[in-house]
Amino acid sequence: MKLLEDRYGRVATDLRVSLTDRCNLRCSYCMPAEGLEWLLGDEVLSDDEVVRLVRVGVEQLGIREVRFTGGEPLVRRGLVEIVRRTKALDPTLELSLTTNALGLARTAGALAAAGLDRVNVSLDTTDAETFHQITRRDRLHDVVAGLEAAQAAGLGPVKVNAVLLRGVNDHQAVELLSWCIERGYELRFIEQMPLDAQHGWSREGMITADEIFARLEPEFVLVPAAEPRGSAPAELFLVNGGPATVGVIASVTRPFCGDCDRVRLTADGQIRNCLFAREESDLRAALRSGASDEDLAERWLIAMRGKRAGHGIDDPSFLQPDRPMSAIGG
């Protein structure tokens, strides 16, 4: 077993696999209303190719967690089978899914039976009008039904990821947290990152961690949770003495790159050693030209060695990656 170690001594054990760049929502902070030019046909890894690369990561490179993402992974037809085949590689692997939950009410049971352990659901508001304003769709009820189904299927702890947008839903932070606590969902507020397809992100427009606390603290007493954070992106806080918690993922103002254990595989077979990587390593071409598992593993190791210390958003030389978040995955 060789470890995916970078030149700063960080070891990646958490693989994020984007199964598609397509999505059935049009969140304003992610992509334009008309959508994007999607990957076509065999540009996208087949189910067999996905499972093979995950297997190489697990068997040869020390991957211990696999999270399936997108775009929206629930639009990928073979998702349940990919989950089942991944779990069969090693039943102790932790499998999770980042999703907008559209359709989860139908598939939660099958995903749990296939070996999925838990879900992170993206939900920025519980107000139907605001939901439409952000996502350009009237599907809040489907997300709520998906969350309930995930909980009923035992895909927990069910986590909710929320982005606050200035003048849109940032006044609803207290409401969203109360709603999640009442239902036993673990809410994480995420600082908006410069990864949108439109390249419209601005630091001034972003709601910072400090602003998130300022919106919550009039209503909730927040105390840092005792459990060590480790490589987890979220800073956790006990709400009103607990046991409920709330998390803040402050990638921009409180970066956590020093303990990063993540690596990403895109739907078109590229390794990204960081969410903000500007270079990618093409495993798809190697795989399709007959590379052995050992050769694929070696290419992956080389890709990791080039990982930068951090995202560099604060560097004057910072350049937003060409690939948008919708084609990288959370």
- CB closer to ligand SF4 out of 16 and 139: 16
Using rule CB under 6 A, residue 256 touches ligand SF4: yes
- Measured from the CB atom, the residue of 239 and 304 that comes closer to ligand SF4 is 304
Shortest distance, position 275 Cβ to ligand SF4, whole Å: 4
Does 311 sit near ligand SF4 (CB under 6 A)? yes
DSSP secondary structure letter of residue 78: T
Q: How many chain residues are in contact with ligand SF4, going by CB under 6 A?
A: 9
Question: Residues 262, 284, 299, 323: which binds ligand SF4 (CB under 6 A)?
Answer: 262
Pairing of strands 118-122, 159-163: parallel
Residue 12 as a binder of ligand SF4 (CB under 6 A): the answer is no
Let me know: does 313 contact 252? Beta carbons within 8 Å.
yes
Distance, in Å, from the CA atom of 31 to the CA atom of 23, rounded to the nearest integer, reads 10
276 binds ligand SF4 (CB under 6 A): yes
Choices 41-49, 154-162, 274-282, 283-291; region in contact with ligand SF4 by CB under 6 A: 274-282
Q: Are 27 and 134 a contacting pair, CB within 8 Å?
A: yes
Summary count for the chain: helices (H), strands (E) = 9, 14
Contacting residue, 17, 66, 95, 275, with ligand SF4 by CB under 6 A? 275
Q: What is the DSSP letter of 165?
A: B
- Tell me: does residue 312 bind ligand SF4 (CB under 6 A): no
State the nearest-atom distance from the C-beta of 284 to ligand SF4, in Å. 21
**Comparison of 249 and 297: residue with beta carbon closer to ligand SF4:** 249
Which one of 27, 50, 260, 325 is in contact with ligand SF4 (CB under 6 A)? 260
Q: Which of 288, 278, 261, 256 is nearest to 328 (CA)?
A: 278
Nearest to 49 by CA among 269, 294, 289: 269
Cite the DSSP H helix spans in the chain. Answer: 47-61, 79-89, 104-114, 128-135, 140-152, 173-183, 209-216, 283-288, 293-305
Nearer to ligand SF4, 8 or 42 (CB): 8
Q: CA distances (Å), 62 to each of 140, 178, 188, 250, 295, in order?
A: 38, 39, 27, 27, 16
Q: Does 188 engage in binding with ligand SF4 (CB under 6 A)?
A: no
Rounded CA separation 326/312 (Å): 20
Nearer to ligand SF4, 31 or 274 (CB): 274
Contact between 310 and ligand SF4 by CB under 6 A: the answer reads yes
State the minimum distance, in angstroms, from the CB of residue 206 to ligand SF4.
Answer: 15
Residues that bind ligand SF4 (CB under 6 A): 256-257, 260, 262, 274-276, 310-311
